[in-house]
Amino acid sequence: MLTNASPQFWSGKKVLLTGHTGFKGAWMALWLHQMGAIVCGISLPPQTQPNLFTLAKVGDLIESHFCDIRHADAIASVIKSANPEIVLHLAAQALVRSSYKDPLATFATNVMGTANVLNALRDLPSVKSVVCVTTDKVYKNLEHSYPYRETDVLGGHDPYSASKAASEIVISSFRDSYLKEQGVAVASARAGNVIGGGDWSEDRLIPDAIRAWENNAPLEIRRPNAVRPWQHVLEPVNGYLVLAEKLYTDASLSGAYNFGPLTHEAATVGSVIKLARHIYGSGEVDWGDGSQGPHEAGLLSLEVSKSRAALDVGPRWGLHETIKRTINWYQLQATNQDAQILCQEDILAFIEAKNSNNESV
């Protein structure tokens, strides 16, 4: 049986959540509110229309501040006012292709933005644990089948990957130079490719598919043979929450953690889209040959044994269940069903699905 985030732990906890208007951040805010946490969110306004933050009325549930993490003084002011016990840092420029278009903004947000958040925690006695979310793309990708472990070399070809690898060094530096001495436990979380209802970002596989198929247009796939560690958004969100809980009482757990599916369940873009089209019920696809667009890694998988052993968290929804729930969410929301209720239903189903990779859920 796998561990879920504990409502008993989170009830009444003061939590700072950066990136709460984003896809993953909105899911996180909804789950924290459901457990009774007192949440203060810091983020840019929602970057897409539509967006989950607005549809699920997240701003009505938590204290919400629209603020750029690149602005050190403004961020420090909000953080000191919030006086959090736990910090969950999700805010980022999170798109590879956008990083090619604007590398300076990507580095400023992901590197200096992270430094600004962590610097604001210095000499803040309320803080006990910090989880900074980076990405599975922090590793120097050698395009081999070996799944990357937390001790492997960091790197990054594209500006996004490089900025996240650099942010890992920033996280480690602030932990060792300042926060450890304050008794603050700090961890970084490296998650695989995340899918789920409520994501409308550009250049992401499932959102692109939904947009195309809803408009009876063909979906253009650049690299159908690229392999990624796909997982439902609730898998890493639960992992981050459990990690923050454990750090709160055991600083020895500080460090880096991978969150993703089992290594053998990494799947190609092509197989994901074929399954998504089958579940959706229709949809045309134009298959590329891998030569379109800037460089992107062809093969990436993660070793997740550390998070399973240390935190008792691990994948519980396999690829079919993950895609089915994702497609169903979009189809139900398109009929004007309440987005907040749809998310709450998925959270409840996830909590009840404690067996690893239970496809019959």
pLDDT confidence band for 361 (50 / 70 / 90): very low
pLDDT tens-place string over residues 233-243: 999 999 999 99
Rounded CA separation 102/180 (Å):
34
Residue 328 clears pLDDT 80, i.e. is over it: yes
Rounded CA separation 59/52 (Å):
11
- The terminus-to-terminus CA distance of the chain in angstroms comes to 14
What amino acid occupies position 195?
Answer: I
Q: What is the mean pLDDT of residues 219-226?
A: 92
pLDDT tens-place string over residues 264-322: 888 999 999 999 999 999 999 999 876 666 656 678 889 999 999 999 999 999 999 99
pLDDT recorded at residue 360: 34
**Residue-averaged pLDDT of the chain:** 94
Residue 341 clears pLDDT 90, i.e. is over it: yes
pLDDT confidence band for 336 (50 / 70 / 90): very high
Q: What is the mean pLDDT of residues 128-150?
A: 93
Domain ranges of the chain: 11-352
CB 324 within 8 A of CB 283: no
Q: What percent of the chain has pLDDT over 90?
A: 86
According to CATH, the superfamily of the domain at 11-352 is NAD(P)-binding Rossmann-like Domain (3.40.50.720)
pLDDT tens-place string over residues 85-138: 999 999 999 888 899 999 999 999 999 999 999 999 999 999 999 999 999 999
Q: Whole-model pTM?
A: 0.95
pLDDT recorded at residue 300: 86
Q: What percent of the chain has pLDDT over 70?
A: 95
CB 84 within 8 A of CB 14: yes
Give the lowest-confidence range in 36-50, 54-68, 159-173, 290-304: 290-304
Rounded CA separation 222/297 (Å):
12
pLDDT recorded at residue 97: 87
Q: Which residue has the higher pLDDT, 141 or 276?
A: 276
Give the lowest-confidence range in 119-123, 194-198, 225-229: 225-229
